[in-house]
Amino acid sequence: MDNRDEIRTFLTTRRAKITPERAGLVVHGTRRVPGLRRGEVAGLAGVSAEYYAHLERGNLGGVSESVLHALGTALQLDEAERAHLQDLARAAGPAARTRRRPAPQGVRAGLRRVVDGLGDLPAYVRNGRLDLLVFNRMARALYAPVFATPRATGQEPNTARFTFLDDRARDFWADWSRAADETVAILRTEAGRDPFDKGLSDLVGELSTRSEEFRTRWAAHDVRLHSTGAKHYHHPVVGDLELAYESLQPAADPGLTLLVFSAEPGSASHDGLRLLSSWDASPAAVETES
């Protein structure tokens, strides 16, 4: 198994986004394709056209850090895209082809206690496939429609499946298109980090088969970091919520992410969370509200 197709498509899609004018190049005549030509990227990166063509064919194994940095600069990659390029290069190396990263075996009791101890702040632990593995009472209430989504026996609640396969997602996410973009970008980032994750491959295959919206976004090869920001919800019980989130990756738990949500004190969203804390988030209650 190799990731040459992933590398090739990522580099070509990034190259297509950069116009010559944006790159500071003088253009003469009519251009038949959008973005930069291979030779122009090569010149901006300080490598030969033949060598860049070799890289764009998917051959990133063994490429030096300095060349990756130069490519990132030439293609004007953002922080998430640079990290993704590094991940693709690592996955193309010989060591990555023979040694898969071990999947976490459950969630440590200490991490579970942290989630439970956050009290009135919604918190959960997810993996790179966006399975919700551990969650406190408030997270269960906040993400009640996700937990109410029918799923196969043994499947964890999964926000990607919910976003693309459950009609309630269009109401739950205040800006569904943005939520969909972010969801796919997170999955694409994880695919670059760990291309040997069979569970992720199966999920992508399932969503690609069942959702044209997912297929279109997946083909764009966009990636993003998910460290801090705000999420907007239209909760079926308490209405609109704007919550800040912090995303933490425990050093002892590779592949897992802890997300914690909070609202500005005194805001309508803060009042909404207080109301949510008193609501019964059982499956029966969710179905009644729906």
Q: Do domains 4-98 and 109-289 have the same CATH topology?
A: no
The β-bridge partners of 37 are: none
Output the pLDDT for position 196: 86
* Domains of the chain, residue spans: 4-98, 109-289
d(CA 267, CA 264): 6
pLDDT digits (tens, 9 = 90+) for 196-220: 899 999 999 999 999 999 999 999 9
3-state SS of 142-159 is HCHHHHCCCCCCCCCCEH
Burial code (b: 16+ CB inside 10 Å, e: under 16) for 51-65 equals ebeebbebbbbebee
CA 126-131-132 angle, 5° bins: 60
Q: What pTM does this model have?
A: 0.88
CATH number 1.10.260 given to 4-98: yes
pLDDT digits (tens, 9 = 90+) for 250-290: 988 989 999 999 999 999 999 999 999 988 655 555 554 54
Residue 30's pLDDT band (boundaries 50, 70, 90)? confident
Where is 235: in which H helix or E strand? strand 228-235
CATH topology for the 109-289 domain = Beta-Lactamase (3.30.450)
d(CA 105, CA 254): 11
Token pair of 214 as six digits: 């997912």
For residues 238 and 275, the answer to whether their CB atoms sit within 8 Å is yes
Residue listed under structure tokens 């997946």:
218
